[in-house]
Chains A and B, each alone.
Chain A
Amino acid sequence: MVRAATSQSSLKPDQVEEGKDALIDATDLQTKELNGRLRDLMLTGVKKVNIINVYGQRYIGTRLYTPEHLKMEIEIFGTPGNDLAAFLYGHKITVHGNAQDGVGNTMDTGEIIVKGRAGDVLAFSMRGGEIYVRDNCGYRTALHMKEYEDKRPVLVVGGRSQDFLGEYMAGGIVILLDLHDQTHEANFIGSGMHGGVIYLRGSVERSQVGGQVDISPLNDADRAVLDQYVSKFVEHFPEIDKSREEILNSQFVRLTPKSKRPYGNLYAY
């Protein structure tokens, strides 16, 4: 079977009227084509795009790096495929629907808003920017999230997460609100955590949390952080039925690593 030669996309950008947002209909578009069109639009100076009929196309937002750091706003209607906004470099993406696995994979800067749920490995190795997910998320959320000085990623999830939340976490802020008051059922939370902080609205059992993790109550600095990001969450999702005050007045716990070196004693020198 002869392998088809990789063809370069030389697509014309959709006609853009002055002042109007650009539109891409993703029906029957493969991942590569869709992302090629997005990039072309950005390079012609478009600032805002709506993409409709999205069913599983991957890496939307990934092919948008330029040395000049051009930025774009993207609204997605449908279900974007895996690795949405992987390696994102500064754009803003809103999903009107559910997202799948790998949202914000190794994201550097930018903002992602999901008006629905997200899948597994949400915010994996995230290193900056902000992600807001209205409903639940899957396994291995915020795995190896990292930060450096003032570059601190933030993830806010309105629902709950499944197992291995914050595994190997090295930095950043994760906030889980459990807005439907179902109690957190995740296990192995913070397994290998050595940096960053997780705020859970409600409470967790000691047995759900990794041995290297400290469970403690909030202090004023924590409350300030929560206020900042919960306010933004509520702004992004006016449809939720709790108010900002209600959320902030709830009980929260804070999870932090006991040590920066959870495996310091593992080896014989």
Chain B
Amino acid sequence: MKSFVFPEFEIIRDEEKCGQCRGCERQCAFGTHTYDPVADRLISDNYKCVGCQRCVIFCPKDAIVVRPTQSFYRPNASWSREKLEDLKKQAETGGVILTGCGTDKQFRIYWDHIVLNASQVTNPSIDPLREPMELRTFLGAKPDLMDISAKDGDVEIKTSLSPNLMVETPILFSAMSYGAISYNAFRSLATAACKSGTYFNTGEGGLPQEMRDEFGRCAIVQVASGRFGIDAEYLNCAQAVEIKVGQGAKPGIGGHLPGEKVSAAVAQTRMIPMGTDAISPAPHHDIYSIEDLSMLIFALKEATNYEKPISVKIAAVHNFAAIASGIVRAGADIIAIDGLRGGTGAAPKAIRDNVGIPIELAISSLDRRLRNEGIRNRCSIIAAGGIRCSSDVIKAIALGADAVYIGSAALIAMGCTLCQKCYTGKCNWGICTQDPRLSGRLNVDIASQRLSNLITAWSHEISEMLGGMGINALESLRGNRDHLRGVGLYEWELDVLGIKGAGE
């Protein structure tokens, strides 16, 4: 069937600069550039280009420009080019439109409407370069009261504490499974996490055997609906176990790792035949109700001898605060909420762009709900879903989160340009692919260095902003909405966020 769809990107090659080194041909796994030996020039096929910019960055002569094509349909406010062309694709194939990364649609970005405070005169700002600035935080359940006896100088803590994760900075690497991302990318995240005093999350792909000894100490392992790679050793080698109930990019549906990404190594870690689709069903089939989730939480506590905090990751959807409250009561130590703009390796576009709520509203709503019920200290909240910069992190904490997970941001640090073609397995940056030819391009030392740099840079900026607010310990900002004001927001939004308007 002839396709009626225009190419999304066009390649403009400066023929004078191009030295016919064929580097672009080698860089592109989509086969966009081919060398024509007769004419001695590179020919580019616009239809194949996904706009990942790899060839542009790596052209030694700076000879290539790749840019989105303009739409030449008659302008139509309702029928955008994307709507038109997705429809045509479906008419051609009868299939579900697949995509990757987080939603790119115009939903209000509340981070950009929130401003921070700074101290002046009455409360001095603190200088982070010379004065201590503490970002360390503990993730897990805290007891309501402590029973401490102090006798003759001997202090005894009688209350036994629930296990907690200690992080040096409130930025953790979000769950991205080995299988969705390459081994090198996965290992880079683990290396950087250990180096920077934070944690990485294995996602639902398991943790390869050879990584457990070295990286278990900064790993959060996931138990997802597909139960891939889960055995008692996997659970016990890590520092926390996370039950994945949902994720922001695709709430309510399962995951689907296409067979071409299930290489021999992925198959071994996930314990399924090579080349099979790795299907994570929508629900955990042993969780159909809140008491079932409680059952799984305690099953994992039993399996880890009550030594690890158990986290539950849910997507932020309409009624989620009530659900989250139930999850806390069900015994979870940490709740990870993933908002509308969360990323993914593969999701139907319809779900990615239409299901879920923005994380900013979710954090406030959840924090308030748990406080109203008097159970806020029974869990920590980790927020995720399109955190882009350090100011987003600090606003998240001020709204009530204990820490954030970064996914897309981490991938971007490693080279990702959000071309949204992760599901093809042909990531030219070596990140979302199992093709060794491609993943070999991602050098673990360099990529992990980029990630550590990111954490360092953001942590420093957070310290600056904290100091500016007159705070020298992160715990004093958590849920402290007094330090936030809204600009350009409706009243109901201010209400949900729980912040005043600027000037009030």
Contact = CB atoms under 8 A, between A and B. Distances in A.
Given A2-B145, A87-B232, A269 B424 contact: yes
Given A89-B231, A148-B271, A192-B279, A267 B302 contact: no
Contacts of A261: 258-259, 275-277
A5 B281 CA distance: 36
Interface stretch (A164-172, A198-206, A235-243): A164-172
A168 B268 CA distance: 18
A65 B378 contact: no
A260 B276 contact: yes
A108 B231 contact: yes
Interface in A116-153: 121, 124-125, 127, 140, 143-144, 146-148, 151
Contact of B295 (A6, A102, A143, A264): A102
Contacts of A67: 233, 236
A151 B273 CA distance: 11
Contact of B272 (A87, A89, A121, A170): A170
A243 B235 CA distance: 42
Contact of B96 (A8, A148, A268): A268
A168 B276 CA distance: 12
A266 B286 contact: no
Given A121-B285, A195-B272, A195-B273, A265 B95 contact: yes
Interface of B: 89-90, 92-98, 143-145, 147, 159-160, 162, 223, 226-228, 230-233, 235-236, 256, 258-259, 267-268, 270-273, 275-277, 279, 281, 285-286, 295-296, 298-300, 302-303, 305-306, 348, 378, 423-424
Interface stretch (A56-64, A219-227, A248-256): A56-64
Given A62-B299, A102-B295, A124-B286, A87 B231 contact: yes
A121 B286 CA distance: 7
Interchain residue pairs A-B with the least CB separation, the first 6:
A268-B95, A125-B227, A65-B232, A89-B232, A268-B93, A108-B231
Contact of A267 (B92, B98, B267, B279): B98
A257 B479 CA distance: 52
B230 A260 contact: no
Interface of A: 2-3, 5-8, 31-32, 35, 39, 58-59, 62-63, 65, 67, 82-83, 86-87, 89, 101-102, 105-106, 108, 121, 124-125, 127, 140, 143-144, 146-148, 151, 167-168, 170-171, 192, 194-195, 260-269
Given A58-B295, A261-B276, A63 B98 contact: no
Contacts, number: 164
Contacts of B256: 263, 267
B90 A268 contact: yes
30 contacts: A2-B144, A2-B145, A5-B147, A6-B162, A6-B306, A31-B298, A35-B302, A65-B235, A67-B236, A86-B299, A87-B230, A87-B231, A87-B300, A108-B231, A121-B285, A124-B227, A125-B226, A127-B227, A127-B271, A146-B271, A147-B273, A148-B272, A151-B271, A171-B272, A192-B279, A194-B273, A261-B276, A263-B279, A267-B97, A267-B423
A168 B279 contact: yes
A146 B272 contact: yes
A8 B158 CA distance: 11
A19 B405 CA distance: 53
A258 B267 CA distance: 19
- Binding site of A, secondary structure by majority: helix, strand, loop or mixed? loop
Nearest to B95: A268
Given A167-B285, A268-B95, A127 B303 contact: no
A161 B223 CA distance: 27
A224 B222 CA distance: 38
B160 A7 contact: yes
Contacts of A170: 271-273, 276, 279
B281 A144 contact: yes
Given A39-B305, A89-B231, A260-B259, A268 B272 contact: no
A65 B233 contact: yes
Given A167-B285, A171-B271, A269-B98, 18 more contacts: A2-B144, A5-B160, A6-B160, A59-B298, A59-B302, A86-B299, A102-B286, A125-B230, A127-B231, A140-B285, A144-B279, A148-B268, A264-B259, A265-B95, A266-B95, A267-B95, A267-B423, A268-B92
